[in-house]
A and B are shown apart, each in its own frame.
Chain A
Amino acid sequence: MFLLSLPSLSATCMRYFRMFALHMQDIFEQRGRTFVWLLISCIAPLIMILFWRGAKGVNGWSFEEILSYYLLLIVFRAMLISHNEERVAVTDIQEGQLTAYLVKPFSYFWLVFFQELPYRLFQGGIGILFLVLCFQLLRITSSVELFMLSVVSIILSFFLGFIFKMIIGLCAFWMTDSRGLFEVVDVTLVIFTGLLMPLAFYPQWLESVSYFLPFAYMLYFPIVMVQGQLDYVEVFKALSMQLFWIGLLVLVYRLMWRSGIRKYTAVGQ
């Protein structure tokens, strides 16, 4: 599923590239919707910036650091948080579209990946333009090595978030209606990825809990790494945790796919 055989590698890459290009066209066809999604990812962090501007007695972080955190959050959220779970669960599994993909010579995992990637790249690209415009307000690490390690962490966090959302989508094999689960996932992500506020602001016990879970490594750690708030030891610890969670989630995904596909039924003419 994840490993492609070498002789057909070039042809397979071309197929996936075409899929990628096709979905890139969708983005431009739905300009209005794409613009509204961008606005949506800006609103909550902007409100939070205004909230912290008037907060008295915040420990540890200066307002400039908080401002930089939320500006980076707007971009990283648009770039790293995938929204593939609903398509996998509702369109593909519950409505039976999956049948069409099963008979094609593609890996379903990579197919969804290349459907999702254009959206993340496009929104991330606009986000980076936005960051360039407000560069003066950003607090970014001055160490080139740490910055390069942050880029690695950003790529890993994208994979981590994507695989997690795939797993959530696959739950539809066993559930008739997954909306309740999606809501639970949304709230969990808002609290534990640092979307609400930096995890360092949480009470000690909750901060410790969130460092054990995979969610902090999807958004929070890449941001604080870029900001230069972590030393080398903490950076390598975070990268190891990302690799550990990716490995574990890939295993879970493969198990769920194997047993789910046996349960899957679709009807049609």
Chain B
Amino acid sequence: MKEKLHRIQVYGRVYKTLLRLNVTKLFAYRANFINSAIAHTIWAAFGVISMLLLTSKVATVYGWTPNELMLLAGTYNLILSFFYFFFSRNFGDLADVIHFGKLDTFLLKPIDTQFLISSWNVGYTQLIRFVIGFGVVWYFLVHMGTSLTFVSLVQFMLLLCASVIILYSFWMLVLTLLLWFTNVSNLVDLLYQINGITRFPSEIYKGFGMILFFVLFPLTLIVVSPTKALLQQMTWQEMLVPIGFAIGMGFLCRRFWQFALRFYTSASG
């Protein structure tokens, strides 16, 4: 127990150092920082604008009103801001890291490889997306006259963590395939597109084919569940589903990564 606690402290210190190093990088490459900030502002605004346009001429979509769909768009930005802040830049580099044999450097370090490849880069510019997402959620909650209670806030926080874990595990599961298919570097682009699935009500995938629905099911929980918590439509029992998926998928992606590492053949592969 004491040793485990010590390990957690060590990883905490490493992560703190990485956060500091990333701030230094931010100021060293200012043009890159400005460009990223512009890009993330544009995409975050697009997430909101596109939903405004989609709902501009419809009364309801699968029983969701335009205001509720806008709340969904805000929550989508909020959740993605956390995921992109902590992980997405690292996943973006993973194809190159594996293809050019740079993973050797990570494997040789006296620290868990999955931790290191997932946390090397931090996307500070995602804070802009967070602000936009938070603003949209706040505006539409007030606009709809929904008051936040302590319970709904706790539920929202728990579901937000579960959502980020599901998203992380899904990306990790897919990108681990790069250890076998090193040439398919555009898998990350595919995952960015798949993220778009999460910003719509889960009902849209029902009846489209059970297999597809069950594959997509955990993804459809990512944004819908926290939004339902904000709308006070989530019971504690219902919360067990996304939390269960988060634990299950987290475990699965860890095991799959460890299994796949056996097939890593460095730059000669």
Which residues of chain A have a CB within 8 Å of any CB of chain B? 30, 32-33, 36-37, 39-40, 43-44, 47, 50-51, 53-59, 176-177, 179-180, 183-184, 187, 190-191, 196-197, 201-203, 206
With A56-B61, A191-B50: A36-B186 Cβ-Cβ less than 8 Å: yes
Q: Which of chain B's residues has its CB closest to A195's CB? A: B50
Structural contact, B181 and A32, CB atoms closer than 8 A: yes
Residues of B that sit less than 8 Å from A by CB: 31-32, 34-36, 38-39, 42-43, 46, 49-50, 53-54, 56-62, 181, 183-187, 189-190, 193-194, 196-197, 200-201, 203-205, 208
Asked if A40 and B43 sit within 8 Å, CB to CB, the answer is: no
Closest B residue to A184 by beta carbon equals: B42
| Tally of A-B Cβ pairs under 8 angstroms | 99
What are 16 A-B pairs at a CB distance below 8 A? A33-B186, A36-B186, A36-B190, A50-B208, A51-B200, A51-B204, A55-B60, A56-B60, A57-B58, A176-B31, A177-B32, A179-B36, A179-B39, A180-B38, A196-B50, A201-B57
User: With A and B bound together, what is the CA distance between A56 and B203 in angstroms?
Assistant: 14
- Whether A196 pairs with B53 at a CB distance below 8 angstroms is yes
The interface residues of chain A, by DSSP majority, are classed as: helix
Report A-chain residues with C-beta under 8 Å of the C-beta of B201: 54
**In the docked arrangement, what's the CA distance between A15 and B62, Å?**
56
Q: Taking A176-B31, A177-B35 as contacts, is the C-beta distance between A55 and B186 under 8 angstroms?
A: no
Residue from B58, B185, B208 in contact with A33 in the complex, judged by beta carbons closer than 8 Å: B185
A43 to B191 CA separation, bound complex (whole angstroms) = 10
Write out the residue numbers on chain A whose beta carbons fall within 8 Å of the beta carbon of B196.
43-44, 47
Within 8 Å by CB of B204, from A44, A54, A191, A197, lies: A54
Across the interface, B184 reaches (CB within 8 A) one of A33, A56, A177, namely A33
Q: Name the residue on A nearest B35 (C-beta).
A: A180
Tell me whether A196 and B181 are in contact (CB under 8 A). Answer: no
Provide the bound-state CA to CA distance between A196 and B56, in Å.
13
Expressed in whole angstroms, the Cα–Cα distance for A88 and B227 within the complex equals 42
CA distance A49 to B20 in the complex (A): 45
A43: nearest chain-B partner, CB-CB:
B193
